[in-house]
Amino acid sequence: MTVLGGHPAGSPAALDGIAFVAQDTPLYKNLPAADMLHLTRNLTRRFDQSFARARLAELGIPVKRKAGKLSGGQQAQLALTLALARRPQLLVLDEPVAMLDPVARHDFMASVLTAAAADGVSVVLSSHVLVELQRVAGYLILLSRGRVQLAGEVAGLLASHRMLIGPAGEAGNYSERPVVHGQRVGAQARLLVRAGADDPVPPGWQAHPVGLEELALAYLREPGAAALPAPPRTRGTETSEVTR
């Protein structure tokens, strides 16, 4: 197996081109940020010290403060700086924003996008924060129960799915349609289907585009294509998710 244009996986040349940021931003909490830069420079074969210092200064992160005394967002940015200063071709991020507040999460992902655009860095991002994916992801691989449930260009995946909204009593009439997931709220049914914008809409139904979070949740709840069963006999306004 080769990576990064032909380097054997695990070779020094391949490892030099890959940087990694883990979920728990592993830093030596008792070391000041400046010492973290110095340590990383000595432990790696390539490290852009001036870039790292300039980036921390731009972010307002005090280099004399111990890493453990920095805020969660600052610790995440410090870990990202250490990774980017290695000037990687591939940046691997494992749940990097899971523990951050919304502002810190937004700033972190903006930094990743800037690096990808400015330096041509390829980014592989593992995340359970679905709302972030549509803004940053160009290609999606959705894993559930040990299997790939969905994979493809994000734009293409969104274009090939629609949300149908209509009478719950007629949901069973469309069991032949490629329904991914069905949900019933009172007298109304919502069917996420594999269909394009030009596909005909059943009479009495409305079709709406779907977002990436909505799409991903549907495939997580219903691996593969699912058909909505006949409407339940009970009445009311409760919401019930239908499974195969």
In this prediction, residue 30 carries a pLDDT of 95
Average pLDDT of the residues in 122-144: 83
Distances (CA, A) of 184 to 5, 19, 100: 49, 45, 34
Residue 235 clears pLDDT 60, i.e. is over it: no
Which residue is associated with the tokens 């990576």?
A: 3
Domains of the chain: 2-137 (3.40.50.300), 159-242 (no CATH)
pLDDT in tens, 189-212: 898 988 877 888 888 899 999 999
Which of these ranges, 46-60, 68-82, 136-150, has the smallest mean pLDDT?
Answer: 136-150
Q: What is the pLDDT of residue 223?
A: 65
Q: What is the structure's pLDDT at 195?
A: 84
Buried b (16+ CB within 10 A) or exposed e, 78-110: bbbbbbbbbebbebbbeebbeebeeebbebbbe
List residues bridging with 2 in a β-sheet.
8
Rounded average pLDDT over 14-19: 86
Mean per-residue pLDDT, 80-106: 89
**pLDDT confidence tier of residue 54, bands split at 50, 70 and 90:** very high
The mean pLDDT of the chain is 83
50-62 average pLDDT score: 94
Q: Is the pLDDT of residue 176 over 90?
A: no
* pLDDT one-digit tens code per residue, 96-112: 888 888 888 888 888 88
Beta strands 90-94 and 18-21 are: parallel
Alpha carbon distance 22, 48 (integer Å)? 20
Place of tokens 């799915």: 161
pLDDT of residue 239: 30
- CA–CA separation, 126 and 112 (whole Å): 13
